[in-house]
């Protein structure tokens, strides 16, 4: 009977807080209109070799391209055929630079898949070893370095990352490697590909196997803020190489976190045991129970667990 009384008390506490939490969530949703993509161009200086006509930096704002070549050679954007029109990508050039800003801080979020927090989309592509069948032979990329800043003044380089590199953009999950009509199942531009994969791991893969490895992602070069010692950034700078190729950039994205399941104990149901576990972690920063990702276990997390309530046992 004592255990029942404790759980009943927890339920009373939970339901009492739920109303306030729900109102808080509603207010936050209304107030938060941030775009997950870069929102403004701070500066752009085309360098030597920047391709004429591909010098409009605002093309890097908003979502990456899913379909390219309208009015010329229409085609889906796939890892074998990248965006290529002047209104879709900007050319940096040797010695050039592009600085963009988000309308919010991009955070180092432990809930993000693979720990990746930021994605950069270029127009790199895989070369095909099978004459139109889409078998990965190698990667055609044009480099460029990535720098990050919280204030637009102090900059931190991202080592061993090419801005226009892995992983080439995938616009649709149901389109073939050289398809000329739009697909019907869009990829997720806020989800990264597993950064542990290297070009050598992909060599020889057929298109279906490649898409399977993308696992729903739309591609992009993944950056983990923790790996460069940053907790948050708002500005991204792409520098062209000192000499040589000109990187082309399409877009920038803030990775969407994967919220922990409300089934905290993994028994297949959201019930009193999950609620008790959350209340036991109340006020802490336990990531596995931080359902709303605000860094502390509180009323908003409680509202989410109650909203997913199934009761009973599996």
Residue 290: predicted pLDDT: 85
pLDDT(23) > 80: no
Q: Is 299 left (phi over 0), alpha (psi -120 to 50) or beta?
A: alpha
Q: Provide the CA 106 distance to its chain's centre, in angstroms.
A: 10
> CB 102: neighbour CB atoms within 10 A?
21
DSSP 8-class letter at 281? T
| Parallel, antiparallel or unpaired: strands 40-45 and 97-107 | antiparallel
Residue 131: predicted pLDDT: 84
Cα 113 from Cα 53, distance rounded (Å): 36
- Tens-place pLDDT, residues 238-252: 999 877 678 999 999
Residue 313's pLDDT band, with cuts at 50, 70 and 90, is low
- Tens-place pLDDT, residues 102-116: 999 999 998 899 999
Residue 314's pLDDT band, with cuts at 50, 70 and 90, is low
Token pair of 173 as six digits: 């999950």
Selected residue with higher pLDDT from 151 and 264: 151
Residue 30's pLDDT band, with cuts at 50, 70 and 90, is very low
Beta bridge partners of 145: 239
Phi, psi (deg, nearest 5) at residue 236 = -130, 135
Beta bridge partners of 91: 248
pLDDT, average across residues 16-20: 40
Residue 294's pLDDT band, with cuts at 50, 70 and 90, is confident
pLDDT, average across residues 222-247: 92
**pTM: predicted TM-score of the whole model, two decimal places:** 0.79
Composition of the chain by helix, strand, coil, percent to 5: 25, 25, 55
Residue 5: predicted pLDDT: 36
Cα 25 from Cα 43, distance rounded (Å): 36
- Tens-place pLDDT, residues 108-142: 998 899 999 999 999 999 999 988 899 999 999 98
- Tens-place pLDDT, residues 182-218: 999 999 999 999 999 999 999 999 999 999 999 999 9
Burial of 266 (0-12, 13-18, 19+ CB in 10 A): exposed
CB-based contacts of 228, cutoff 8 Å, min separation 6 = 148, 156, 157, 158, 159
> Residue 136 in contact with residue 126, Cβ under 8 Å?
yes
Query: Among 15-19, 76-80, 296-300, 305-309, which range has the highest average pLDDT?
Result: 76-80
Cα 179 from Cα 130, distance rounded (Å): 15
- Tens-place pLDDT, residues 43-54: 999 999 899 999
Residue 22: predicted pLDDT: 40
Quick check: bond before 167 cis, omega within 30?
A: yes
Which residue's entry shows tokens 């790199």? Answer: 124
Average pLDDT for the chain: 87
> Residue 161 in contact with residue 144, Cβ under 8 Å?
no
pLDDT(6) > 90: no
> CB 178: neighbour CB atoms within 10 A?
15
């Amino acid at each position: 009977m004592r255990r029942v009384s404790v759980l009943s008390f927890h339920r009373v506490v939970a339901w009492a807080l739920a109303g306030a939490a729900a109102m808080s969530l509603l207010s936050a949703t209304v107030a938060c209109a941030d775009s997950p993509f870069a929102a403004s161009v701070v500066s752009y200086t085309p360098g030597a070799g920047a391709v004429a006509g591909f010098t409009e930096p605002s093309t890097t704002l908003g979502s990456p391209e899913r379909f390219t070549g309208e009015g010329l050679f229409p085609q889906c954007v796939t890892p074998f055929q990248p965006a290529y029109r002047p209104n879709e990508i900007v050319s940096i050039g040797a010695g050039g630079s592009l600085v963009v800003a988000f309308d919010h801080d991009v955070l180092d979020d432990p809930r993000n898949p693979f720990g990746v927090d930021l994605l950069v989309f270029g127009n790199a592509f895989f070369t095909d070893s099978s004459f139109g069948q889409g078998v990965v032979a190698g990667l055609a990329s044009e480099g460029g370095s990535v720098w990050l800043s919280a204030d637009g003044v102090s900059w931190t380089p991202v080592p061993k990352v090419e801005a226009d590199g892995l992983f080439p953009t995938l616009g649709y999950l149901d389109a073939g490697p050289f398809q000329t009509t739009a697909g019907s199942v869009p990829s997720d531009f806020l989800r990264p590909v597993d950064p542990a994969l290297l070009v050598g791991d992909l060599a020889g893969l057929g298109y279906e196997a490649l898409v399977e490895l993308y696992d729903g992602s739309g591609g992009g070069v993944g950056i983990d803020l923790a790996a460069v010692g940053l907790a948050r950034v708002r500005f991204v700078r792409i520098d062209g190489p000192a000499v040589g190729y000109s990187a082309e950039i399409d877009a920038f994205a803030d990775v969407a976190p994967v919220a922990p399941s409300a089934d905290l104990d993994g028994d297949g149901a959201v019930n009193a045991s999950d609620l008790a576990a959350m209340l036991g972690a109340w006020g802490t920063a336990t990531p596995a129970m931080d359902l709303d990702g605000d860094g502390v276990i509180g009323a908003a997390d409680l509202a989410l667990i109650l909203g997913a309530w199934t009761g009973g046992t599996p």
